[in-house]
Amino acid sequence: MFTKHKEDNIMFYVGEKFDIAENKSYKTQNGAEKAAEAAGAYVFDDDGNIVFPAAEAAETAETVNIIGRATVVFNGKLRVRNAPSFAPETECGLMCKGDTVDVIDTVESDDGKPMWKTAEGNFISADEAHTAFVEV
């Protein structure tokens, strides 16, 4: 899983379905979980992944076919994308050297460069200068 750094201002959203405009936002996962439990709702992260209740999050993860793991080998910060594109507006997080993520597919970016599609539904560079891949 990639690391959301403090400057990313991660938020958590409570609702029946993921809709940033409609869901109430929380700065902490703990606060969001308490509200969701009281309302019988879900907690979503910034990318729309269910993070609470745990059974729902695990159920979602089980439906994904993981083909391997990518580890950041780049000596800087690797940008995580919410679409298979290197455009600035697709940036949604950062990974640092040594961070790993489960991979479900290899895709081509909008400019023809290889990218890994992560189990979380995000995209990172598949360039060997940036990541190392190990099949599972």
Domain ranges of the chain: 9-62, 68-135
How many helices (H) and strands (E) in the chain? 2, 11
Query: For residues 128 and 130, what is the distance between their CA atoms, to the nearest angstrom?
Result: 5
For residue 72, the model assigns a pLDDT of: 94
Q: Is 74 exposed, middle or buried (0-12, 13-18, 19+ CB in 10 A)?
A: middle
Mean pLDDT on 17-38: 88
Domain 68-135 has CATH 3.90.550: no
DSSP 70-109: EEE-SSSEEEEESSS---GGGEEEEEETT-EEEEEEEEE-
For residue 3, the model assigns a pLDDT of: 45
**Among the listed residues 39, 33, 31, the one whose alpha carbon sits nearest the alpha carbon of residue 53:** 33
User: What are the CA-CA distances from residue 30 to residues 10, 88, 113 (Å)?
Assistant: 13, 30, 38
- Please say if the pLDDT value at position 79 is more than 90: yes
Residue-wise pLDDT tens digits, 91-107? 988 899 999 888 999 99
Q: What is the pTM of this model?
A: 0.57
More confident residue, 36 or 7: 36
Residue-wise pLDDT tens digits, 28-70? 888 899 998 888 888 888 878 888 885 555 455 556 688 999 9
